[in-house]
Amino acid sequence: MMTVKQVSELTGVSIRTLRYYDEIGLLPPAEYTEAGYRLYDDTALERLQQILLFRELEFPLKDIVRIVSSPDFDRKKALEQQIELLELKKQRLDELISFARGIKLIGVRAVDFSAFDTSKIDEYTKRAKEKWGNTDAYREFETKKRSESENRQVMEDFMQLFAEFGKLKSGSPESAEAQAMVKKLQGFITENFYKCTDEILSGLGKMYASDGEFRENIDKAGGKGTADFTAAAIAVYCGE
């Protein structure tokens, strides 16, 4: 038997929450001491595991009470369903992570939502999608479906291009080698993210040179000065 304090320390669930779970009939203790203290056995802990998994899947407490208190509740079947739902949740998170990495590395400006209160987020999202989400580039980027390992490899290959730019930075951005690298960069973005027109490429080049985080990442890949050299080579390629 374990006391409520011991269960709290073991699971990370607060004592207050455990008491509340008892009050609503979600997790009654196995028994009480003569002094009225709650005691939990292995069966109660197994039930708590189920509860925490349902909570991780964002089930409302009232639904969890109904599920785990049902006489037809099948713990094994419930666990299988929870695993399936968690896998779907993981897949969704992987997609969001990949999307965020794309934003960070290929030049779509991330937005700081701290400037928006909750009531304005939906309005902002609608306006942002009207401006950017309906473009061919966004739709093409959004439909790129890859596994986490595939996305990691694409990003590594992408940064390798800047390492190659770094090897050329002691020369002229107008050189045939530098211009060939720009063409290679444009082709890579088109193949792996979205159609990179000269107009989009020009905008990316300006951002590579002016944005602190992009400059830092590119210079880390190719050495100091790589971001400026890449931007200059892109400007030449785009006829600026």
Higher pLDDT, 121 or 67: 67
Q: Among 21, 55, 73, where does a domain finish?
A: 73
Please write the tens of the pLDDT for every residue from 79-114: 888 888 888 777 767 766 666 666 565 554 444 444
Q: Which two tokens stand for residue 91?
A: 């897949």
Average pLDDT over residues 174-190: 93
- Domain that includes residue 209, residue range: 148-237
Percent of the chain with pLDDT over 70: 76
Q: Is the pLDDT of residue 18 over 90?
A: yes
Number of domains in the chain: 2
pLDDT at 142 over 60: no
Residue 143 in any domain: the answer is no
pLDDT the model gives residue 211: 64
pTM of the predicted protein model: 0.46
Task: Give pLDDT tens digits for 192-210.
Answer: 877 788 888 888 888 888 7
End position of a domain, from candidates 54, 73, 92: 73
pLDDT at residue number 34: 86
